[in-house]
Every structure is written in structure tokens, then in C-alpha cells.
């Protein structure tokens, strides 16, 4: 079994997939961010929408998320720093023209109703 998309050295089915399938909730902001990266890599647009904070969902379109997710080849996630409510990371991918790209973001998360949610990010 290959390692999880998020970079952990365990298989996807034992790492991020239980969160994406709704079997379990991500226990920390970093685990949620890692699972969201895995969701981009695996085309799980519903999970990305559902784990976006309710106050920000209107700014996210599932069809556009899925199209962008599938248009790119996701290569690697690098977590640079994390606190209880923030994660700074680089996501490496090839765009639709196979040009190498790096998405650098400092993301903010909120814990509400026993679940973590992505709020926003600074690029």
C-alpha cells in the first residue's frame, strides 16, 4: 500500500480516508488540513465543502473545487508549522499544463460542535 496523500507514512485507508468518508472526525486542525489535502488529491469535493466553516461555504463551489482538484496532479504536502488553530503549509502539484506549482498558505481553523472546520487562508 502506498503512503497517504498527506505525506504520512501509513496507507490512505488508515490515515485520511476515515475522515473523508465520515467514519471519524479529524481530531486536530492539522489532521483536518492534511485530510483536506488528501481530499483534493482524491477528488472528494463533498468533504472539502463540508469541512469548510459554514460562514465561508457560500464562497466555495463544489463543481469548481472538483474541477480544480482533478485538473492538477498532487505531488506532495509539506507542513511548515501548526498551532491549535492554524497550519502553515506548502502543497506541491502539477497544473493542467504540467507546470510545477507550489501553493503556500497559512490557514485558520475553528473547532465547533466537536468538529474542526477550515475558515480561511492567507496565500
Q: What is the pLDDT of residues 58-117, one digit of tens each?
A: 877 888 888 888 999 999 999 999 999 999 999 999 999 999 999 999 999 999 999 999
CATH number of the domain encompassing residue 63: 3.10.450.50
Partners of 79 in the β-ladder? 89
Range of the domain at 28: 12-122
38 located within any domain: yes
**Grid cell in block for residue 13:** 485507508
Residue written as cell 465543502? Answer: 49
Quick: pLDDT tens for 23-41. Answer: 999 999 999 999 999 999 9
- Number of domains observed in the structure of the chain: 1
Cβ-proximal residues to 25 (8 Å cutoff; 6+ apart), any chain: 19, 114, 115, 116
pTM score? 0.93
Distance CA 103, CA 12 (A): 22
**Grid cell in block for residue 64:** 469548481
* Contact (CB, 8 A) for 46 and 39: no
Amino acid at each position: 500500500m502506498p503512503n497517504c496523500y498527506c505525506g504520512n507514512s501509513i496507507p490512505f485507508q488508515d490515515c485520511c480516508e476515515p475522515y473523508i468518508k465520515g467514519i471519524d472526525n479529524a481530531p486536530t486542525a492539522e489532521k483536518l488540513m492534511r485530510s483536506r489535502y488528501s481530499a483534493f488529491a482524491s477528488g472528494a469535493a463533498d468533504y472539502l465543502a463540508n469541512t469548510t466553516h459554514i460562514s465561508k461555504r457560500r464562497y466555495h463551489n463544489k463543481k469548481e473545487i472538483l474541477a480544480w482538484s482533478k485538473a492538477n496532479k498532487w505531488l506532495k504536502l509539506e507542513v511548515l508549522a501548526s498551532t491549535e488553530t492554524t497550519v502553515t503549509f506548502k502543497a506541491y502539484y502539477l497544473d493542467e499544463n504540467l507546470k510545477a506549482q507550489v501553493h503556500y498558505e497559512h490557514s485558520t481553523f475553528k473547532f465547533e460542535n466537536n468538529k474542526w472546520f477550515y475558515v480561511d487562508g492567507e496565500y
